[in-house]
């Protein structure tokens, strides 16, 4: 179905909320929208929220293609920049772990996969306990 992206410039963070039926194109579009122009710092952290996902239209080969497509994007990323994936459900957690393993060889992001909001936010050095709390800080 899609992805919504919110840029939290004061936190140097992009929040990606995937929802409905998520596809390869949604995953690539999420990164393109999180880094829309040259004004985004190369060390901008990412938070991908898979909680609203109802169906993932991807298999292992699609994960490989997703990572390959992301690697081919002309987007500057500082090596080691954190990308937290919040995936509390078994299906999304498993797919996110596959993405983590494949991306470790092809992308500059350090990907962490978490079942809890607190774990994902800690990984990104954010003080809030919930994503709702983080988004409430946006002016």
pLDDT over 70 for what percent of the chain?
A: 86
- For the chain, first and last CA: distance in Å? 28
User: What phi and psi values does residue 131 have, to the nearest 5 degrees?
Assistant: -70, -35
Q: pTM value?
A: 0.88
Q: Is the pLDDT of residue 103 over 60?
A: yes
Residue 38's pLDDT is what? 59
Token couple for 32:
């393109």
| 6: nearest Cα among 52, 38, 40 | 40
Which domains can be identified in the chain, with CATH numbers? 2-136 (3.30.750.24)
- As beta bridge partners, residue 73 has none
Residue 130's pLDDT band (cuts 50, 70, 90): very high
What confidence tens digit (pLDDT) does each residue in 1-46 have? 588 888 898 999 989 998 888 776 776 666 666 666 556 788 989 9
- In angstroms, what CA-CA distances link 67 with 94, 99, 101, 130, 138? 16, 7, 10, 28, 30
């Amino acid at each position: 179905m899609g992805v919504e992206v919110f840029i939290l410039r004061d936190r140097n963070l992009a929040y990606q909320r995937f929802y409905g039926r998520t596809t390869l194109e949604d995953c690539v579009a999420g990164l393109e929208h999180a880094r829309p122009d040259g004004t985004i710092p190369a060390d901008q952290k990412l938070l991908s929220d898979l909680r609203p996902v109802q169906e993932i239209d991807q298999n292992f080969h699609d994960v490989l293609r997703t990572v390959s497509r992301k690697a081919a994007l002309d987007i500057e990323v500082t090596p080691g920049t954190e990308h937290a994936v919040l995936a509390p459900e078994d299906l999304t957690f498993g797919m996110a772990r596959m993405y983590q393993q494949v991306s470790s060889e092809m992308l500059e992001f350090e990907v962490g996969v978490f079942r809890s909001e607190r774990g994902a936010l800690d990984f990104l050095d954010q003080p809030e306990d919930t994503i709702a709390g983080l988004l409430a800080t946006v002016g």
